Structure 1
Amino acid sequence: MEHGKIGSLTLSGLIIGPLLGSGIILLPTIIYVNLGNYAVIAWLVMSIIGICFAYVCGELMIQFPGEAGLGNAMERAFGAKIKNLASIFLMIAALMGPVAVMMTAAEYLQIWLFPDQIKVEWIAIILLVLNGSILLLRLNFLGKLSFLISTFAVLILVSGSIFALLNQPTGTWDFPEFHFDSFGYSLLLLFWTIVGWEIIGNYSSEVKNPKSTIRKAIFFSAAVILLVNLVLSAAVQWTTYNSSFTIRLAGVMYPLFGQFAIGLLAIVATGLCITTHLMVVGGVARLIADLSKTVPPFHFLTKKLSNGAPYKAITLLVLIHLFFVVLLFIKIVTVEQLVGLANAFFIANALIGLFAAIKLLAAPWIKGMAIVLSVLFGILLLRSSIIALFLILVLTLLLSRRRKEIIKMKS
């Protein structure tokens, strides 16, 4: 029964790299520009929020495993309609977020290898097709691949940051005037760094000894992610080499790695973006396959290879991602717009998961944690774009109205 299933170390590989993702490359300099020396505090706050969120999600995964992920808990708490609503939110986010992630990887590869020679969008298309092919392999292999990439990335980022802090400190500890709006906006940006904990549940049916495996993987992954976040954000703030290079973070890595800093960062950024894409698309493809079982017109999306990969759902997602890259190429949408929309739908899905935790989990302190997180996530959601909030409201009202109509017909 346990043959081919993954253990805690392999599951950690599916967590660490994706959770670090493009955010750990892009955001440290952005948050520092916004907040100055308050930046490391913002990283600490969001890291703690992420750890709490991870723990709540982990407990829900353990009690309600399956390819639907947290949707299983949502259905138990609120019924199938709310589960479907949350699933729609997650799927919409997965249509746009991975595209922005792969565009980040493509940008780094272009700067390193093909300056002004190949369009970023073409590199992104190649990466998306490559990742789609990788997703057809066994989950055990994907986890091990992600673990190797994550280990390399963590070693490069942490060693480079610590060396810079020890050898090139600025000694600047002045704190600017605190602005709550800027701090709140920075937390909204940093939410991108905790997206993914809720998706891990979609792999729970492929984990051996779920209770111990999931808890071990979450504890280990959260500790590593916290270390990287704080060390790297501190290095951006308190070293002399933080803004003199065209590629982000190259200045922090330069004291240790010298002329190899740009190449190493491009490899790290690409690797982390690839692991993020693998986890999100792989998890959501499994969700689509599970939901399609009850919808006859989409039953073809349930088809899987002998290794368990839902190849038709994966193909569908990759094709949609390629479509969005075309929209980026002809400048109908921007990467920033895709990130903003994806973030809002990820938060909306996470909120429903937290509401389910409040209702289902017995321990009072976990309920309290879920309540606090739901308030924080609600505030972050309200700071999202008007377009995202409008779409979320419309989808919620449409599904609620449909539910009322079904109840009326039955009566």
Structure 2
Amino acid sequence: MKHGKIGSLTLSGLIIGPLLGSGIILLPTIIYENLGNYAIFAWLVMSIIGICFAYVCGELMIQFPGESGLGNAMETAFGPEIKNLASIFLMIAALMGPVAVMMTAAEYIQTWLFSEHIKLEWIAIILLVMNGLILLLRLNFLGKLSFFISSFAVLILVSGSIFSLLNQPSGSWDFPEFHFDSFGYSLLLLFWTIVGWEIIGNYSSEVKNPRSTIRKAIFFSAAIILLVNLVLSAAVQWTTYNSSFTIRLTGVMFPLFGPLAIGLLTIVATGLCITTHLMVVGGVARLIASLSKSVPVFHFLTKKLSNGAPYKAIALLVLTHLFFVVLLFIKIVTVEQLVGLANAFFIANALIGLFAAIKLLAAPWIKGMAIVLSVLFGILLFRSSIIALFIILVLTLLLSRKRREREEQKAEC
């Protein structure tokens, strides 16, 4: 229905908050501690990579819309097996990444309100169930909710950073000895800040006037994200940043907000984590619903509410997330392991999307951009978890073999 479709501002709401995510709270101080004043260059490099990646993904979304997202382009370029391979990568990432995001939010809430009286895992369970229920609402409402949260987060982070830069400059412009390994590792950590552009395509069937809406939303969102990343990282570097606070960035926000800084940062971090979870789980649930149409045994996952929410696919993802929280609780896995695994599968999915762009998009300069990005993403992938790389290799070989068999059968006919 036309009236249920979303515009560029609402789509921006589904982009800005999730792309900022928990990374914008956690990473500025970590990258600065790793690189010193070189940190701003790492943020600038990854921001430029993110903008280029967003543009390539946007062009693929416009030309190949649908609930399968970039999978539609991948199928056109390489066939259904490679589309399924990329979809599997994305779904595996979505089984683990959102859990780490909610654990981050839980850590902030525990620090601010509960000390250690309530376990992190219980707070994460409450947040996961709450988000699962929110995902059952209309996409238009979810976009507006995300836009409100994103706007609040941007206002707090940018105003606090600018105030500190103007009123408490550190005057420290010394550059430490440059270490390529540390810079490369920091870029790998910062990759988390551009995960999500490829998932937006899963919402493209619910966007009105996709060509203009998607381009406007990507341009606006990328500009805001670039502003926040650079201003906040600059404030961490070039103000009298105090790292003694329990919650990161409090030292940057304290000059403007005083004692309210901890509470505001907790609200901002939790809100951004919630929007990240909403976008990833909502997008991947739509992908699952789309793929299940061709698999009879999973046909039940195609069921949707009248507002278009694929409620059974959402329920499956939320239940899986709760299972992983239990594994965290009994210490079988760690949050760091989940992040490492999810990151690798997000990169693998993005790489296939870039390969599709190289094959399908006509403009030479876009092809060149996709080639450069694929090389960079490949380097990041090979720095990822060995376990994830092994799983990616096995799945790739299996699906590639099926593709060859299909082509041989087609040639014989």
Question: TM bucket by the smaller chain?
Answer: over 0.9
Q: Which residue of 1 aligns with 2:99?
A: 99
Sort the Cα spacing of 1:229 and 1:410 in 2 relative to 1 into closer, same or farther, 3 A.
same
Report the CA distance between 1:409 and its aligned residue. Answer: 11
Aligned to 2:375: 375
Q: Is the 8 A contact 1:162 1:231 kept in 2?
A: yes
Displacement of 1:241: 2.7
Identify the range of structure 1 (394-403 vs 191-200) with the bigger mean alpha-carbon deviation.
394-403
**Local SS of the residue matching 1:3:** helix
**Gapped runs of 5+ residues in structure 2?**
none
Residue 13 of structure 2 aligns with which residue? Answer: 13
User: CA shift at 1:160, angstroms?
Assistant: 0.3
> Using the alignment, how far apart are the partners of 2:391 and 2:32 within structure 1?
32
Contact 1:64 1:73 in 2 (8 A): yes
Q: For 2:101 and 2:348, how far apart are their aligned partners in 1?
A: 20
- Residue of structure 1 in register with 2:263 after alignment: 263
Distance 1:275 1:410, change over 3 A: farther
Partner Cα separation in structure 1 for residue 179 and residue 204 of structure 2: 41
Deviates more, 1:384-393 or 1:280-289: 384-393
The 2-side partners of 1:225 and 1:203 are apart by 20
CA distance in 2, matches of 1:158, 1:332: 39
C-alpha displacement of 1:402: 3.1
Contact 2:160/2:257, CA 8 A, preserved across alignment: yes
Matched residues in 2 for 1:304 and 1:410: separation?
Answer: 40
What displacement does 1:99 show? 0.3
Residues 93-120 of structure 1 show CA distances to partners (whole Å, capped at 9, x for unaligned) of 0000000000000000000010011000
Contact 2:304–2:311 under 8 Å retained in 1 = yes
- Describe the superposition over 1:275-319 as per-residue Cα deviations: whole angstroms up to 9, x where unpaired: 000000000000000000000000000000000000000000000
Q: 2:58 touches 2:215 (CA, 8 Å); kept in 1?
A: yes
Structure 1 residue 3: Cα displacement: 1.4
CA shift at 1:239, angstroms? 1.0
Shift of 1:410: 7.0
Q: 1:258 & 1:232 partners in 2: Cα distance?
A: 17
Q: 1:403 to 1:364 in 2, by over 3 A?
A: closer
The aligned counterpart of 1:28 is 28
Q: CA deviation at 1:244?
A: 2.1
Equivalences, count: 409
What do the CA deviations read for 1:65-121 (whole angstroms, capped 9, x no partner)? 000000000000000000000000000000000000000000000000100110000
Which stretches in structure 1 are left out of the alignment for 5+ residues?
none
1:209-234 Cα distance to aligned partner (Å, 9 max, x none):
00000000000000000000000001
Secondary structure (helix, strand or coil) at the match of 1:172 reads: coil
Residues 361 and 409 of structure 1: CA distance in aligned 2, closer, same or farther (over 3 Å): closer
What's the secondary structure of 1:169's corresponding residue? coil
User: 2:350 & 2:214 partners in 1: Cα distance?
Assistant: 18
Which range moved further: 379-388 or 288-297?
A: 379-388
| Number of the residue aligned with 1:203 | 203
Q: Is the 8 A contact 1:241 1:254 kept in 2?
A: no
Deviation sequence 1:345-364 (CA, Å, 0-9, x none): 00000000000000000011
In the TM superposition, residue 397 of structure 1 has moved relative to its aligned partner by 1.1
Q: Report the more deviating stretch, 395-404 or 47-56.
A: 395-404
C-alpha contact (below 8 Å) 2:79/2:403 kept by paired residues: no
Indicate conservation of the 8 Å contact 2:54/2:218, yes or no: yes
Equivalent-residue separation in structure 1 for 2:391 and 2:240 (angstroms): 44
Deviation at 1:385, TM superposition (A): 1.4
Distance in structure 2 (CA, Å) of the matches to 1:297 and 1:48: 43
1:1-400 superposed matches below 5 A: 1-400=1-400
Cα shift readout 1:37-91 (whole Å, capped 9, x = no counterpart): 0001000000000000000000000000000000000000000000000000000
SS, match of residue 170 in structure 1: coil
Task: State the 1:36 CA deviation.
Answer: 0.5
Q: What is the Cα-based RMSD across aligned positions, in Å?
A: 1.1
- The answer to whether the 8 A contact 1:236-1:242 is kept is no
Q: Aligned with 1:332: secondary structure?
A: coil
CA distance, structure 2, for counterparts of residue 80 and residue 410 of structure 1: 19
Does the aligned pair in 1 maintain the 2:81–2:402 contact within 8 Å? no
Find the residue that maps to 2:240 and give its secondary structure. Answer: coil
Task: Output the CA distance in 2 between the equivalents of 1:124 and 1:251.
Answer: 26
Deviation at 1:400?
A: 2.0
Per-residue Cα deviation, 1:230-254 (whole angstroms, up to 9, x for no partner): 0000111111133121111011000
Distance 2:331 2:42 in 1: 33
